[in-house]
């Protein structure tokens, strides 16, 4: 019985930590949820200091905040909380799409870079979003379905100026173009430059909401950017763009394997 109790307690603690992990993982890329989290921490710190210094009035006010605060947060920030829960639900724990081989990844990078170079040279705006572990099905459903093999010619056709799908984004799953003309939620991040247009804000928005890779070509000046893990890497050179894309497309297991090989080589 003692062994069984230890096992159940470990399972209990493990489930709680996994829940905290997924919550914090999704909170870190959502600006409003980060602000909520910081506000709660600040209130707890002030409450602790008020109890320590016997600040009765402040303590009473903060006590009411702690009692009714969760309800107020749920009501006021319902869209943000729903967004976090949806992103957790969209996470594909077992993986829905095939893992690309090295040759397939090289072909994907080649076709994308060929199109990107064309867009940059001719100053054609483009937004290409590559799905990873978190599903983008909610953006695929209302978009124009394509379901075609990825090629630079097809990308150039989709983003041809004044075309019907030019202003939307392309969604890539694996080595296939799934949809075009997709519309993404724009980022609410106030720290990004006001000069950046809708494409950059949409790219950052999807990178904040999911683990997708968002590739952007500016229509005004042909500058290249990649939004990844909630950050916007702006005004990249073609080489920087290619290297960051290759790194982002590498499977996590392969990255760890390469790091271990480098460590063992250094030790020798």
Taking the C-alpha atoms of residue 109 and residue 112, their distance in angstroms, rounded to an integer, is 5
**What pLDDT digit, counting tens, does each position of 228-257 carry?**
988 899 999 999 999 999 999 987 654 444
Among 133, 206, 139, CA closest to 178 = 139
What is the pLDDT at residue 49?
A: 85
Instruction: Provide the mean pLDDT of the chain.
Output: 82
Maximum separation of any 2 CA atoms in the chain, in Å: 72
* Residue predicted with more confidence, 97 or 209: 209
What is the pLDDT at residue 242?
A: 95
DSSP secondary structure, 44-92, as one string: HHHHHHHHHTT-HHHHHHHHHHHHHHHHHHHHHTHHHHHHHHHHHHHB-
Q: Token match 């483009």: residue?
A: 126
What is the pLDDT at residue 33?
A: 67
**What pLDDT digit, counting tens, does each position of 172-196 carry?**
998 999 999 999 988 877 777 778 8
**What pLDDT digit, counting tens, does each position of 16-32 carry?**
888 777 777 666 656 66
Domains along the sequence of the chain with CATH: 2-90 (no CATH), 102-254 (3.40.1700.10)
For residue 1, how many C-alpha atoms fall within 13 Å in the half-sphere facing its CB? 0
**Lateral strand order in the sheet of 176-182:** 144-149, 176-182, 169-173, 126-130, 213-217, 224-228, 231-236
∠ at Cα 260 (259, 262), nearest 5°?
A: 65
* Residue predicted with more confidence, 37 or 265: 37
pTM of this structure: 0.64
């Amino acid at each position: 019985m003692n062994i069984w109790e230890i096992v159940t307690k470990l399972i209990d603690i493990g489930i709680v930590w996994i829940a905290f992990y997924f919550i914090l993982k999704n909170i870190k890329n959502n600006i409003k949820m980060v602000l909520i989290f910081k506000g709660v921490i600040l209130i707890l710190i002030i409450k602790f200091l008020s109890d320590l210094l016997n600040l009765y009035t402040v303590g009473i006010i903060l006590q009411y905040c702690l009692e009714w605060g969760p309800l107020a947060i749920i009501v006021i920030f319902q869209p943000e909380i729903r967004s976090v829960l949806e992103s957790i639900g969209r996470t594909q724990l077992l993986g829905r799409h095939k893992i690309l081989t090295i040759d397939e990844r090289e072909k994907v990078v080649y076709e994308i870079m060929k199109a990107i170079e064309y867009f940059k040279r001719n100053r054609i705006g483009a937004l290409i979003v590559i799905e990873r572990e978190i599903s983008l099905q909610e953006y695929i459903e209302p978009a124009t379905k394509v379901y075609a093999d990825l090629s630079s010619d097809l990308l150039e056709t989709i983003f041809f100026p004044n075309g019907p799908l030019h202003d939307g984004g392309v969604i890539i799953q694996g080595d296939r173009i799934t949809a075009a003309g997709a519309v993404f939620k724009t980022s609410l991040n106030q720290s990004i430059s006001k000069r950046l247009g809708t494409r950059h804000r949409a790219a950052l928005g999807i990178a904040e909401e999911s683990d997708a890779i968002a590739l952007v070509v500016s229509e005004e000046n042909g500058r290249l950017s990649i939004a990844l893990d909630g950050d916007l890497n702006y005004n990249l050179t073609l080489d920087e763009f290619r290297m960051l894309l290759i790194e982002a497309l590498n499977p996590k297991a392969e990255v760890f394997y390469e790091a271990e090989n480098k460590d063992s080589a250094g030790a020798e």
